[in-house]
């Protein structure tokens, strides 16, 4: 079916762009590393027989005409990364989709539906703390306010777009109409497939993340001269809140709460921290559960702020609702997995993906590839060539099945 050697060589070559000394990858949106990576993927798309363009926000889009004038099937993922990320997260989905089309074209297999492969801009949200810019634009849900989000240097998304050569006033033209469905191959980033000794999986739904920034402000004072019972220590307050967030999340089987970033001011050994800022990522596959975890954490934070005479500010960075994958597409994926002689494992995704942005627009489906030890967002991220080949062939078969549905 597909040419696994071509696919794995593309994966390897792409992973060298933005490579870190720890063997990970740094590729953040609207940066030079990401531009180089996009241009490399563009070459793969052209070689596969796709007509390639950048849309108004910088999504890289490879298009293949269909035999008939039918709604378009969207494929893709992202090539931006988290800091020091792995080489499979996102990139595998983009390159696998390109490889499937390359193989279809090599076999002169013509599809009735047009296809588009998209490398979505900024799925991770690493630079602006606000992710899925590209898929929001394609869904038509990106707003002017969204473009005002800024990075740590104070550069806004719209400024970064302009610097990168995109006209921020055209961003609404990135919306894609008349779509049949969206399909994405992605690494699982967890241990479920490994625990089932399965190479590939059918995704039932995607947990929805809500991201907050908490800022606690107390009083910076002398660490030696200030008695313990007279302090307004912002870091002790933050620590109590963070520890409680973990306890609350643990009460629910599929809920997660993570503090990924934290900064202390003035950050001196002999100074009581006057201000602490941290992020909180809260998720669940069920919206009501996620809302309950969120409420309880925020109530506890309010309590700590009052008790310790601290000022608490909480700002929401992004809120993405959990989404179910389409039943028909799941059936197609499961049938394709059976056809290649693999066990069918269906599982939810704890990680977020671009497909969530299409929740109210068109049906989505996802194919997971086993992650070794469930590790991801880490240079140790790994999926085997055998598992990747199976997932690519499941995508190949699923596209053919959906083309006649
Ligand atoms: O945060 C996520 O779940 C994804 O990696 N963007
Ligand atoms: Mn990721
Ligand atoms: Mn990803």
In 3D space, the residue among 316, 291, 125 whose CA is nearest the CA of residue 215 turns out to be 316
Query: Is residue 360 pLDDT above 90, yes or no?
Result: no
Say whether pTM exceeds 0.75: yes
Checking if the pLDDT of 405 tops 90, the result is no
**C-beta of residue 220 within 8 angstroms of C-beta of residue 274:** yes
Q: Is 275 in a helix, a strand, or coil? A: strand
Take atom 1 of ligand 1 and give the residue whose Cα is closest: 352
Asked if residue 352 has its Cβ within 6 Å of ligand 1, the reply is yes
| pLDDT interval class at 1 (50, 70, 90) | confident
Mean pLDDT of 117-133: 96
Q: Determine the average pLDDT of the residues in 140-147.
A: 97
Nearest CA to 202 out of 107, 284, 292, 325 is that of 325
Pairing between β-strand 275-284 and β-strand 256-258 as defined by DSSP bridges:
antiparallel
pLDDT digits (tens, 9 = 90+) for 297-323: 999 999 999 999 999 999 999 999 999
Average pLDDT, the chain: 97
Domains defined along the chain, listed by start: 4-206+322-404 (3.40.630.10), 208-319 (3.30.70.360)
Nearest CA to ligand 1 atom 6: 124
Residue 272 has what pLDDT? 98
The DSSP result for 127-153, as a single string, is TTS---HHHHHHHT---TTGGG-B-TT
**pLDDT for 208 beyond 90:** yes
Ligand nearest to the CA of 279: 1
Ligand 1, atom nearest to 78 Cα: 6
pLDDT tens digit sequence for 36-46: 999 999 999 99
Residue 351 alpha carbon to ligand 1 centre in Å: 5
Where residue 341 falls (left for φ over 0; alpha for ψ -120 to 50; beta otherwise) is: left
* Three-state SS at 118: strand
Best residue among 190, 209, 366 to mutate for probing ligand 1's pocket (most ligand atoms within 8 Å of CB) is: 209
Hey, whose CA ends up nearest to atom 4 of ligand 1?
352
- Of ligand 1's listed atoms, the one at least distance from the Cα of 124 is 6
Q: For 164-268, where are the alpha helices, taking DSSP H only?
A: 192-195, 234-250
Give the residue among 129, 168, 123 at the shortest CA–CA distance from 150: 129
Q: Which residues pair with 205 in a beta bridge?
A: 324, 348
Tell me the two tokens of residue 50.
Answer: 């796709």
Q: Which residues pair with 281 in a beta bridge?
A: 211, 258
Q: What string of H, E and C letters represents the secondary structure of 68-96?
A: CCCCEEEEEEECCCCCCECCCCCHHHHHH
Rounded CA separation 89/27 (Å): 12
**C-alpha–C-alpha distance, residues 235 and 123, integer Å:** 31
Regarding the beta carbon of 131 and ligand 1, being less than 6 Å apart is answered: yes
Answer whether 66 contacts ligand 1 (Cβ < 6 A).
Answer: no
Residue 18 has pLDDT above 90, yes or no: yes
Pocket test for ligand 1, best of 349, 353, 366 (most atoms within 8 A of CB): 353
């Amino acid at each position: 079916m597909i040419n696994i050697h071509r696919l794995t060589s593309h994966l390897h070559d792409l992973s060298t762009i933005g490579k870190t000394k720890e063997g990970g990858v740094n590729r953040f949106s609207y940066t030079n590393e990401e531009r180089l990576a996009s241009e490399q993927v563009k070459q793969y798309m052209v070689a596969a027989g796709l007509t390639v363009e950048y849309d108004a926000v910088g999504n890289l889009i490879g298009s293949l005409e269909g035999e008939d004038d039918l709604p378009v099937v969207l494929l893709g993922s992202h090539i931006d990364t988290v800091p020091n990320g792995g080489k499979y997260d996102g990139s595998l989905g983009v390159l696998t989709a390109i490889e499937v089309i390359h193989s279809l074209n090599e076999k002169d297999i013509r599809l009735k539906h047009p296809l588009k492969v998209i490398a979505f801009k900024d799925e991770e949200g690493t630079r602006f703390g606000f992710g899925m810019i590209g898929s929001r634009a394609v869904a038509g849900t990106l707003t002017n306010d969204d473009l005002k989000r800024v990075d740590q240097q104070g550069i806004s998304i719209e400024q970064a777009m302009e610097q990168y050569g995109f006209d921020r006033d055209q961003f609404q033209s990135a919306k894609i109409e008349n779509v049949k469905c969206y399909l994405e191959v992605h690494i699982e980033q967890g241990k479920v497939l490994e625990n089932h000794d399965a190479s590939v999986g059918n995704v039932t739904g995607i947990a929805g993340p809500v991201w907050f920034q908490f800022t606690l402000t107390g009083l910076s004072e002398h660490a030696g001269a200030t008695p313990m019972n007279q302090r307004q220590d912002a870091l002790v307050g933050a620590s109590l809140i963070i520890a409680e967030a973990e306890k609350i999340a643990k009460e629910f089987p599929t809920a997660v709460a993570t503090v990924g970033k934290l900064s202390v001011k003035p950050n001196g050994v002999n100074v009581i921290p006057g201000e602490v800022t941290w992020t909180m990522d809260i998720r669940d596959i069920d919206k009501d559960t996620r809302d309950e975890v969120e409420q309880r954490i925020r109530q506890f934070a309010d309590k700590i702020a009052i008790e310790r005479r601290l000022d608490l500010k909480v700002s929401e960075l992004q809120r993405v609702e959990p989404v179910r994958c389409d039943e028909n597409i799941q059936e197609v994926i499961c049938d394709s997995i059976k056809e290649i002689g693999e066990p069918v494992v269906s599982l939810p995704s704890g990680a977020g993906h671009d497909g969530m942005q299409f929740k109210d627009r068109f049906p989505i489906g996802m194919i997971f590839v086993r992650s070794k030890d469930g590790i991801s967002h880490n240079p140790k991220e790994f999926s085997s060539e055998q598992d990747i080949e199976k997932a690519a062939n499941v995508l190949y078969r699923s596209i053919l099945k959906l083309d006649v549905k």
